[in-house]
Amino acid sequence: MDFYGTKIKGKPVYPPAISEQRRKAWDKVKEGGRFKSSLTVPRGSKSQSQLGAIWGLMMTQACAELDDRGYDTSFIYNLPDPTGIAIDQETLCGYLYEACPIRNEMGHKITLSKADTIQAAKFFEDVRAFLASQWSIVIPDPNPNWKGESCH
């Protein structure tokens, strides 16, 4: 059972309903009985900067590079004949979710929509490594000051 609370004045504080659930769960533990307790700090959802790096930089550059090389969807689906259908970001992302899966704390595959900042960062690095090693597509480090730059 997971219990979500807030740290206030150095102590865990739970909403009344959660406190009651915790009390009931604790009452079920027999004297001398074993129990497991854990504490995790929920991570924030992926950031807009991370999404910008993934979609605005990595996926855009990878799709453009694959298109420049003349690859269509037959390349990523390993089909014998060309399809004539360009590899778009959605198709590439679906492929990369399989090649570089994002996993939650329980080990289940998730997508970026459910990813936290740590998971999104790992996905970015895993995909960069995959693109470089498998398709010789080098994705540069994102520029942290991209919002402040303008074309002159």
Q: Are residues 77 and 14 in the same domain?
A: no
Q: Taking the model in full, what pTM does it have?
A: 0.64
Total number of domains in the chain: 2
- Has residue 151 been placed in a domain? no
- Has residue 115 been placed in a domain? yes
pLDDT tens figures, 89-109: 999 999 999 999 999 878 889
pLDDT tens figures, 96-148: 999 999 998 788 899 988 888 889 889 999 999 999 999 999 998 876 555 54
Higher-confidence residue of 66 and 112: namely: 66
- Has residue 150 been placed in a domain? no
DSSP letters, 42-76, are PPPBPPHHHHIIIIIIIIHHHHHHHHHTT-BHHHH
Containing structural domain, residue 97: 48-145
Q: Are residues 5 and 78 in the same domain?
A: no
Q: Are residues 126 and 56 in the same domain?
A: yes
Q: Are residues 90 and 123 in the same domain?
A: yes
What's the mean pLDDT in 24-51? Answer: 77
